[in-house]
A and B are shown apart, each in its own frame.
Chain A
């Protein structure tokens, strides 16, 4: 006798679900697809009326032009690239380290003040960097940090969502492992670096991705103003406002800019989902 496993959806329900997913998928994918093919269109095709969804003579010229347009600017393109890469690496590596260190006692130890800090961490998820940028601006100006790399990096470190994710994930590490280490005479620092960190690899990857994406797409930071401190997305929007003939260059630049985030996420998606399994707020 077969056990009844689960109710099934009606054929009609399946059809509705499929149509809904299809429509949603088109809504999400269409703009992305269109901007990718635009990057491969020669100028003659970019301004066809009506606009086309296919490229007849794909070209890499737009990508080459990104470099050419930039070689005419006062600040070399390498500078924007360096700025973006630098703050992304330092901001991400720094955050993953300090967030997992902070999450460890929050998840696995008991100490006075833990509950208060937990509530602060959860509450602070509400406040995105955009929302706290005015208070942060005033603080940076007090410390004379405006227009320095510090002003780009610290806001990336001073967020709480990563700490929250790491804390939730670490709470699933079995106490027995930590207890065993303690009995073997391992200190807290050894336990953390050699036992806890290797077991929370999916969460480390997830934090890396989330921070990478937000650092990489940091656009017009309000904390820097000189040309030499600007980042890649800012450079791109400066190209696009240059002239209408730059449409192809802009499209190519957009594609180049989104590639790293997409690749990093696609490779590590499994770890992200595993981490998010524990992301709920338990009441």
Chain B
């Protein structure tokens, strides 16, 4: 009892400060994720008392749900393309604008970040990729004689997934990009002078031997943010290609979860899909975290 009192006196304030956020975070993020893991082994439907069904939800996904396989492949495709590309775009743009004067840099940072500020308004892309000949892209292609009839950019399964990729890339310079911009500005200038004396010949060598090793922390937070965005693609698909898209051509795991939870109320199955998504995200983070740490330590 005495030690509890002592501990309280010593750390009570710290826990008090932490408690408001920690309690809300636990109740509305941590515990719900735990519940989802639990429900993924049941047939929960929001109405009846759930009963335990073992691994059958997981087996159903991979053996008996073609749409899941499609969503899974699309999610991986989106992540593998938009993740690395968006990350590299953010890094290269941040690197290049760092050499410009302050005013230009400020304006360009604002410009490249602005799609993130626009949130969920994809209206502008609908003008560009509109299926009829009033769509900007179609009218250009028709004018220059590349095509005769308008291409169904948003509904043709051969094209619409690439349209989504382009739009996701357009919005991929978010907080990670700002972190890179700030990181480049705070690099230790004397390293560059020392490097120049030690025989660094060009900007590529400078980037490789001086800049990158110092950017480790920014590269890490950029990676977390990139992973969190590129596996959470879904609302973009609905806004551009509708729900469900033609033959589920832009269906993702996130949309599959929404479909089974909001429309079909199969919460158990939806939870199992969510667990699969969580596991993929955590695994990719662990791998990339390891890779970046090894890379920036040598």
Binding site for B on A (CB under 8 A): 3-7, 9-10, 13, 17, 20-21, 24-25, 27-32, 34-35, 38, 47, 49-51, 97-99, 101-102, 104-106, 109, 111-112, 117, 120, 122-128, 130-139, 141, 154-155, 157-161, 163, 188-189, 192, 210, 213-214, 216-217, 219, 222, 233, 236, 240, 250-251, 254, 257-258, 261-262, 265-266, 269-270, 272-277, 279-283
Contact = CB atoms under 8 A, between A and B. Distances in A.
A126 B28 contact: no
Contacts of B196: 4-7
A156 to B, nearest CB: 10
6 contacts: A4-B197, A98-B21, A126-B282, A189-B13, A219-B119, A270-B106
B89 interface: yes
B134 A283 contact: no
B34 to A, nearest CB: 8
Interface of B: 7, 11, 13-15, 17-18, 20-22, 24-25, 27-33, 35-36, 39, 46, 89, 92-93, 96-97, 99, 106, 108-121, 123-125, 127-128, 133-136, 139-140, 142-143, 170, 173, 175, 178-179, 181-183, 185-186, 192-193, 195-197, 200-203, 205-206, 216-218, 220-221, 224-225, 227-229, 231-232, 234-235, 254, 257-258, 261-262, 267, 270-271, 274, 277-278, 281-282, 285, 293
A5 B106 CA distance: 24
A175 B107 CA distance: 36
B216 A21 contact: no
Given A135-B274, A261-B118, A269-B106, A112 B11 contact: yes
Contacts of B234: 130
A123 B278 CA distance: 11
A131 B197 contact: no
B118 A139 contact: no
B293 A283 contact: yes
A242 B22 CA distance: 43
Given A101-B17, A154-B28, A34 B254 contact: no
B185 A101 contact: no
A265 B185 CA distance: 19
Nearest to A151: B28
Contact of A101 (B21, B25, B118, B262): B21
A21 B173 CA distance: 14
A208 to B, nearest CB: 14
B119 to A, nearest CB: 2
Contacts of B29: 124, 127, 132, 135-136, 158-160
B119 A111 contact: no
Given A128-B229, A159-B25, 13 more contacts: A7-B203, A9-B202, A29-B111, A32-B118, A49-B134, A104-B17, A123-B282, A138-B35, A213-B117, A219-B120, A261-B119, A265-B113, A274-B182
Nearest to B11: A111
B289 to A, nearest CB: 9
Contact of B170 (A28, A99, A251): A28
